[in-house]
Amino acid sequence: MKLLTDRNLTLINFGIVFYFLIIYGLYVFKIDFVIIGVFQEMLSIPFLIAQVVFVVIGINYVIKHKKKPLTIISLFALIVCSILTIGSFF
């Protein structure tokens, strides 16, 4: 059974990007509920680590396998999201 497929990689990449878009949207619209803050604190560090890990996995996957457009788009979106997220710390 192959765990890393185009579909799985694309879903994971878009999932990570959408998580950070939601966090950014909550910040911009100043939505502040306790339960949202709890989930945000619990999930932010694992998603930050997942960003870096899946950028590396995605680049290796795209180099070694047949390139599908949606996988490349999701990888590009994840790279842009990673640059913006990590850049926001400085």
> Is residue 1 one of the residues assigned to a domain?
no
Confidence bin at 1 (pLDDT 50/70/90): low
> Is residue 52 one of the residues assigned to a domain?
yes
Range of the domain at 58: 6-87
Confidence bin at 3 (pLDDT 50/70/90): confident
Question: What pLDDT, in 10s, does the model give residues 49-83?
Answer: 999 999 999 999 999 988 899 999 999 999 999 99
pLDDT at position 51: 97
> Is residue 72 one of the residues assigned to a domain?
yes
> Is residue 65 one of the residues assigned to a domain?
yes
Q: State how many domains the chain has.
A: 1
CB atoms within 10 A of CB 36: 13
DSSP per-residue string spanning the chain: -----HHHHHHHHHHHHHHHHHHHHHHHTT---HHHHHHHHHHHHHHHHHHHHHHHHHHHHHHHSPPPHHHHHHHHHHHHHHHHHHHTT-
> Is residue 77 one of the residues assigned to a domain?
yes
Question: What pLDDT, in 10s, does the model give residues 21-57?
Answer: 999 999 999 999 999 999 999 999 999 999 999 999 9
